[in-house]
Structure 1
Amino acid sequence: MPLLLSAIDTDLVAIDTQSRPHVFTAALMRVISARRSREVHMTAEKQVPVTMRALIARINRKLAPDWKALRHCRKDSRWLDAYGEYFVVDLRRNQADRAFIDPVEYGAELGVLQPFEEVRV
């Protein structure tokens, strides 16, 4: 009589596969669903790191078809008070389109930063 050992939540269960095939199917479904729930739980907890440079590149690729770009203002610039550290420039008019931008919030707004991604400096 063939037996199948199944690990469900680290408990070993012996299943007689010939005389009770429905029990085998139910046990197999429990194992599959337990694995899937653990995988979903792990992906919900784990944050994928994204650098600020990568985020800015993603934002600029998203803005490029509209002839816009995200720019960084230097700390010693005279325009820092007027535009903030990050601002969006309209490249056709060579004019600031939006000022005082937080790249993390703006990236999420544009859809280039996923909820499971975390920006690291």
Structure 2
Amino acid sequence: MVADAEGHPEFGELNLPAVLTALADPLRRQVVTTLLREPEGTERTCVSFDLGVSKSTRTHHFRILRESGLVCQVDRGNSRKVRLRRGDLEERFPGLLELLIAEAGRTLSSPAQQSDTTG
């Protein structure tokens, strides 16, 4: 896989197995779906995601997201900003992002996530 100096694969190098492997982890899916809910092109610091893991584990997850091509990371001063490669992903894998949003909505509204109100 060809990548730029920061480890981002070029558009033509985006491949579905790498993307699906990255999305298999619930924390990484959480990052992607959070970015999907933001306006296109939004950049956030990596530490702004409340993942509940150590700094080294968070760094690992963002590396996987970057190397799979799901996100782009850029150093801005003392922080690292991340943004979803929405346009590239929509063009390369049509429908994938809509599936992620739909699945995130189902997960949030599943009976296991809701309290019992029939009591």
> Taking structure 1 as the reference length, what is the TM-score of the superposition?
0.25
> Taking structure 2 as the reference length, what is the TM-score of the superposition?
0.25
Where is the strand percentage greater, Structure 1 or Structure 2?
1
Indicate the structure (1 or 2) with the bigger Cα radius of gyration. Answer: 1
Q: RCO higher in 1 or 2 (8 Å CA, sep ≥ 6)?
A: 2
